[in-house]
Structure 1
Amino acid sequence: MRYQQMRVLCMFDLPMETKADQRDYRIFRKELLSNGFVMLQYSIYYRTVPNRPAGKKYETILKRLIPKAGEVRLLYVSEKQFEEMQLLVGTKGYQEEVIGSQKLVVI
């Protein structure tokens, strides 16, 4: 069996209108972090997995954590695809970021 390291991207929209919604959001986000997900942007988190079947474990975990009014999308991308991601920013919020296995962020 050949292993190809992948990233699981978790993108979500959760309501924040009531106190209960806000509580559900905090619980969902804390569970993402405790399961090894890292924030890429607001409401977009990722986690490195050795292969797609290993990512299915986290898919199962997230399915049971989704708030009733929430919407969550998972996307599996190869390490190569993730490293080729382009960051486009305007001049006001200029940031330089290195995507991939090197975890260097210059702000």
Structure 2
Amino acid sequence: MENNRFSRLNQYRSMWVLVFFDLPTETKTDRRRATKFRKNLLDDGFSMFQFSIYMRFCASRENAEVHTKRVKRGLPEYGKVGVMQITDKQFGMMQLFHGQKPAALEAPSQQLELF
């Protein structure tokens, strides 16, 4: 029987990477840059949580760092971008509401990772 403390995907070792951003969209060029940034996030396995918040599950802190570095490499010239890493345990404590009714948190999709 495997001890949960040493489980490869335990809730304290696995991470979520959240990307928050506020990008300018006044000009056609600004909109193109913002669209490219969102597309890069999607191509890297992030899912939209809200329009300017994307999230990605990572099996380890090391894997979370890889994806954080990719976000940094694709930063647009203007705007504000924040990246936060939290454990799966912390993510599971999030309370979501639609209007004033509690909403169920969607289960993350399982992603195949090749090393």
| TM-score of Structure 1 vs Structure 2, range by shorter chain | 0.7 to 0.9
TM-score, L = length of structure 2 = 0.76
Say whether residues 1:48 and 2:95 are aligned partners.
Answer: no
Q: Corresponding residue for 1:12? A: 21
Q: Corresponding residue for 2:75? A: 66
Say which SS state the counterpart of residue 66 (structure 2) adopts.
Answer: helix
State the alpha-carbon separation in 1 of the partners of residues 59 and 109 from structure 2: 17
State the alpha-carbon separation in 2 of the partners of residues 55 and 49 from structure 1: 5
Equivalent pairs, count = 100
State the alpha-carbon separation in 2 of the partners of residues 101 and 31 from structure 1: 19
Identity fraction in percent: 38
Quote the offset at 1:102 in angstroms. 7.7
Q: Once structures 1 and 2 are overlaid, which stretch shifts more, 73-82 or 56-65?
A: 56-65
Contiguous gaps of at least 5 residues in structure 2: 1-5, 111-115
TM-score, L = length of structure 1 = 0.81
Q: What amino acid sits opposite 2:66 in the alignment? A: K
Q: What amino acid sits opposite 1:82 in the alignment? A: F
Q: Once structures 1 and 2 are overlaid, which stretch shifts more, 44-53 or 82-91?
A: 82-91
RMSD, aligned α-carbons: 2.2
Note if contact 1:39-1:45 (Cα within 8 Å) is conserved in structure 2: yes
Say whether residues 1:96 and 2:98 are aligned partners.
Answer: no
